[in-house]
Every structure is written in C-alpha cells, then in structure tokens.
Amino acid sequence: MDTPAPIYSLPFEKAWKVSLYLIKKQRSSCEAFSDMSLQNWCWSERYPGHHEMRDYFDNVDKALNVRENVVFNKRVIAAQFDQQTMLWTVQTDDGKTSLCKFFLLATGFTSKRLYPNIPGIDKFQGIVHHSSLWPKTGVDLSDKRVGVIGTGATGVQLIQEACKQSASVTVFQRTPNLCLPMRQRKLDAQTQQDAKKDYEAIYQQRLTTFGGYLDDFRDRSIFDDTPEEREAFFEELWQAGGFKFWIGSYRDVLMDEGANKLAYDFWARKTRARISDEAKKNILAPLVPPHPWGTKRPCLEHDYYEELSKPQHRVVDLQSAPIEKFTEVGIQTQNGEEYDLDIVVLATGFDALTGGLLDIDITTVDGEKISDRWAKGVRSYLGTTLSGCPNLFYLFAAHAPAASNGPSCIEIQGSWIVDTIVKMRAEGVRSIDPSPEAEKKWTEELIDICQKTLIPTTPSWYTGGNVPDKRVEPLIYFGGLPTYREKCNQVLNRGFEGFNLS
C-alpha cells in the first residue's frame, strides 16, 4: 500500500450514510462498524501490507454485512436501458438477466489486465504469472531465476521482494520508474488510539488537497526560491518520504519544463548515490530524464536500488534492445542476448480507466454502443455519468480525478451519487441523463486542464499511452479533488444542471 494509515480506511460518516441508503435494515451493523473501524482497528505499519488490508476489509464486511447483498462469481457482460420500464437490464455470463433502476459500475480502474504481445510465450517451459493473477497460495521463488517484465508500481514492489527470496532476478525495463523512498515504519496501537480524536479532521483534510492525501502542492514557484532554499525544501520532502516529493512539491513542477528538470536532477542525484553498480546506475536512474518528473505515477520503495545493485541481479535496458521472443528456457532480446529463467512475472499493467467499463457491452437509449462512441474519443459528464445512459453512474474510472488517493476520490463520488439519488427521490425525478452538450463541455474542460500540464508529454495509463493501439487522450481530471467536488455539488445545487430529467 502506498497510502499511509489511516487515510486508506473508511471514514465512519460516509460508510454510515452509504450503508443506511443501500442496506437500510442494518442500522445495528453500522454501529458495530463505528466501533470496529474507528475505535478498535489499528494498523501495524505506516503503509499497511496486502494481508492487513484484506483483514481490514474482511472486518468491514463482517460489520456491514456487505456480502449478504452481493452475488459472487458472475461476470456482467451487457447492459441496456429500457425507456418503457425505465429500468436497466443487466446480463451476466450465466445467461441470466437482472433489472435495476440505478446501475452503478464500480468495475475498478485497473481491472482489465494487459498482456505483452511477445512471440513464443507458449513455448516457454517455465512458469508465467501476470502480477494481478498471483496465486493465493503464493509462489515459491527460493533458488529460482526470476524474470520480471515491467517496472510500474507493481513491478517495483515485486522486484524488491523477489530479490531477497530468489537465486537471481532479471528485470526487463522499458522505462525506469522514478521511485520515491517510502520510509516505512511500525506503528504502535496506543499512539493510534490517542490520535483517533483527530481522525474526523484528518479525513476532512484529505478532501481539501489536490490528490486526496494530507499533503498538497506548495503555493509557490520553484523559481521564487534560491538554489539553497530549494535544496533544503527538496531535502525535507525527501526525508519525510512517501509521495511528498511528488504532490507536496512546488506547484510548477508538473507544469513547467525548467522547474521539472530541477526536481528530476535532485531525484537522480539522490537515487544514483544508492546504486553501487555503474552500468545499472545509468539504466535505473539516467542523468537524462526518460520523461518529465512525476508525469507518470512514481512508486514507493524501501530498498529497490540497493537490492538491484547486488551482483546476482540483472537489469536489462529494453530501450537499447527490446524483447525479441520467449524461448523454451527464457527470454531473448533483439541483440541476441539470452536470459535463462525459471519464472517470468508479467508486471505489464492494465488497460486502465476505460478497459473495465468497456468489457461490459453498454448500449445507450439510442442503440449506440459506448465502445463505438469512445473509439472516437472518451466522453463523460463529471467522470461518473454518460449521456444516453439514464441513472448510470460509475466510480474511479475515465474522467474522474483518478490520479488521486482512491478512497478520497471514491468518497466524493460515492457521496455525490447518494446525494443525487436522495434528491431525485425527494423531488420525484425518475431518471437523470446528462445532455450531450454538458458531456462535451466537461470533456473539453478536462482536456484543457490536462494540456496545461506536462502530463501529455509522457505515454502512461493516465492518457492510454501504455496500451498498444489505444487512442491517446487525457483520461483523468487534473483539476484537483476540491474543485472536482465543488463542481459536482454545484450541479446538484443548480437543480441537476446539465442533466435531462424525467
């Protein structure tokens, strides 16, 4: 987890509100949730691990009994709105259909995995796993020669652990991740218990920052400071760890090439000092930036660079020699080098933000497929509704502020959806459908905001640039969470502005 405790947990107020709406009968469960979540739950580390996160969500489920309201092991394949009945018909892969008045898609921003198109993968005699399909029983890496393709957040975290467990790790790197030190530390229960009186304020503070964390950009240009002041400020951010160097830095770092280069140079200097092997130093932290600093999501690490410096581990620079093919015993690059491997991990990411939604065949009231519409350019209203799709809402995907802390963004969107439905009921509105004009305006505004930053310079999942043949366009709202929240609330305060009502 790269978000510090407790801000990845659920604030009680919102859980209460959503639960009361969705599962009205379970009032006592909500009270139990309050006890469990805010009064008793404590994290063991500043950045909780996978198993602890799962335990937390299991406990949330035990308290709220969400499970009782969920149908498992079904894949939604298609959905269409019927104007006569004003209901959505949702088809699942078992041949059944369900009807609903409101259709809420929480399909995840990284649910459609991306497999690299590398010839010969079926001939490889070893084991291959995509990082997102990691066996629940774990994978024994001891004494194994492990190859990892991909150095995004997943690849980096996996590599630094695999280096400690395996005989050797070979990293196939296309673009270096400009990683930041996590500065993980243990947390004690008493300190957390004492801090709980401040949690409500902490949760509120998240929603006032650009990225939904507790830190925000410094309201000052990098050029307003002397080199000494700048160095001291960067050092402070660096020592604090986490994403501070990214989203707690000068406001113009993500807007101005000159400001950005200064941040990159600091990062490269700090990182290169941790890599003992000269050749690896130039691949993992080159002096020339691979792309502007922070325009692609950085990853938090503990000892990634120290581990990879060890002689048994290799870093293959795919910029100078791309992968040619899998062989029976490993991977061969285009310069003829062969790497013998027992296990290959594909940490190659996802068709993010749009892939999960488009996996469902959604048809508008006019018979248009959303997949056909979006092939000409993604459009949405507020990053949560689609014209021609009355009463459909989606969460943390295309056009949302999805580069932010997930729970903060989802809390804003989830609360807004609940407020919208409550207001519809109160005012006797049966359906809301954003107008094509409102959708066009939102989309143009979002593109305009993104183009004022350095984000479009870099191919990444923020713009669809990580998927071969995917249209490259701004897919994220970069106006910041507070502005996003204000705009969403304004729509309701102005009587469902931008929506056609029936």
Window contacting ligand NA7 (CB under 6 A); options: 3-11, 70-78, 145-153, 257-265: 145-153
Residues 209 to 238: which contact ligand NA7 by CB under 6 A? none
Token output for 72: 């498992």
Inter-axis angle of helices 27-34 and 50-64, nearest 10: 140
Which residue spans within 109-218 are E strands per DSSP? 127-130, 145-149, 168-173, 180-181
CB of 474 to ligand NA7, least distance (A): 16
Residues 369 to 398: which contact ligand NA7 by CB under 6 A? none
Which residue spans within 249-396 are E strands per DSSP? 300-301, 314-317, 323-326, 330-333, 338-340, 343-346, 361-363, 392-394
> For ligand NA7, which is the closer residue by CB, 280 or 379?
280
x-or-dash string of contact with ligand NA7, 447-486, rule CB under 6 A = --------------x----x--------------------
Q: Does 174 bind ligand NA7 (CB under 6 A)?
A: yes
Window contacting ligand NA7 (CB under 6 A); options: 97-105, 147-155, 333-341, 471-479: 147-155
Q: Which of 9, 65, 107, 154 binds ligand NA7 (CB under 6 A)?
A: 154
Q: Does 326 bind ligand NA7 (CB under 6 A)?
A: no
Alpha carbons 51 and 266: distance in angstroms, whole number: 34
Q: Does 434 bind ligand NA7 (CB under 6 A)?
A: no
At residue 336, what is the residue type? G
Alpha helices per DSSP H over 352-500:
355-358, 370-375, 406-427, 436-451, 481-493
Neighbouring-strand partners of residue 459: none
> For ligand NA7, which is the closer residue by CB, 303 or 324?
324
**∠ at Cα 162 (157, 165), nearest 5°?**
140
Window contacting ligand NA7 (CB under 6 A); options: 52-60, 83-91, 269-277, 346-354: 346-354
Q: Does 349 bind ligand NA7 (CB under 6 A)?
A: yes
CB of 414 to ligand NA7, least distance (A): 19
How many C-beta neighbours within 10 Å does residue 61 have? 14
Q: Which of 107, 295, 333, 348 binds ligand NA7 (CB under 6 A)?
A: 348
- Which residues neighbour 345 within 8 Å (Cβ) at sequence distance 6 or greater? 128, 129, 130, 131, 146, 147, 148, 149, 150, 155, 158, 162
Parallel/antiparallel/unpaired status of strands 323-326 and 499-501? unpaired
Q: Does 151 bind ligand NA7 (CB under 6 A)?
A: yes
Tracing tokens 């929240």 back to the chain, one arrives at: 485
> For ligand NA7, which is the closer residue by CB, 6 or 211?
211
Q: Does 304 bind ligand NA7 (CB under 6 A)?
A: no
Q: Which of 11, 155, 330, 498 binds ligand NA7 (CB under 6 A)?
A: 155
Parallel/antiparallel/unpaired status of strands 300-301 and 180-181? parallel
The number of residues that bind ligand NA7 (CB under 6 A) is 21
> For ligand NA7, which is the closer residue by CB, 317 or 439?
317
Q: Which of helix, strand or coil describes residue 158?
A: helix
Alpha carbons 341 and 354: distance in angstroms, whole number: 34
Q: Which of 36, 105, 153, 421 binds ligand NA7 (CB under 6 A)?
A: 153
Window contacting ligand NA7 (CB under 6 A); options: 88-96, 135-143, 152-160, 487-495: 152-160
Which residue spans within 252-310 are E strands per DSSP? 300-301
CB of 20 to ligand NA7, least distance (A): 31
Identify whether 436 is preceded by a cis peptide bond (ω within 30 of 0).
no
Q: Does 400 bind ligand NA7 (CB under 6 A)?
A: no
Window contacting ligand NA7 (CB under 6 A); options: 150-158, 182-190, 301-309, 354-362: 150-158
Alpha carbons 309 and 306: distance in angstroms, whole number: 5
Q: Does 116 bind ligand NA7 (CB under 6 A)?
A: yes
Q: Does 150 bind ligand NA7 (CB under 6 A)?
A: yes
How many C-beta neighbours within 10 Å does residue 455 have? 22
> For ligand NA7, which is the closer residue by CB, 461 or 478?
461
x-or-dash string of contact with ligand NA7, 86-115, rule CB under 6 A = ------------------------x-----
Q: Which residue is nearest to ligand NA7 (CB)?
A: 152
Q: Does 420 bind ligand NA7 (CB under 6 A)?
A: no
Q: Does 175 bind ligand NA7 (CB under 6 A)?
A: yes
Q: Are 272 and 285 in contact (CB under 8 A)?
A: yes
Is the sign of the CA dihedral 440, 441, 446, 452 positive or negative? positive
Q: Does 149 bind ligand NA7 (CB under 6 A)?
A: yes
Alpha carbons 197 and 189: distance in angstroms, whole number: 14
Q: Which of 63, 347, 475, 481 binds ligand NA7 (CB under 6 A)?
A: 347
Q: Are 448 and 385 in contact (CB under 8 A)?
A: no
Q: Which of 46, 297, 302, 373 binds ligand NA7 (CB under 6 A)?
A: 297
Q: Are 345 and 158 in contact (CB under 8 A)?
A: yes
Q: Does 168 bind ligand NA7 (CB under 6 A)?
A: no
Binding-site ranges for ligand NA7 (CB under 6 A)? 110, 116, 149-155, 172, 174-175, 297, 318, 323, 347-350, 461, 466
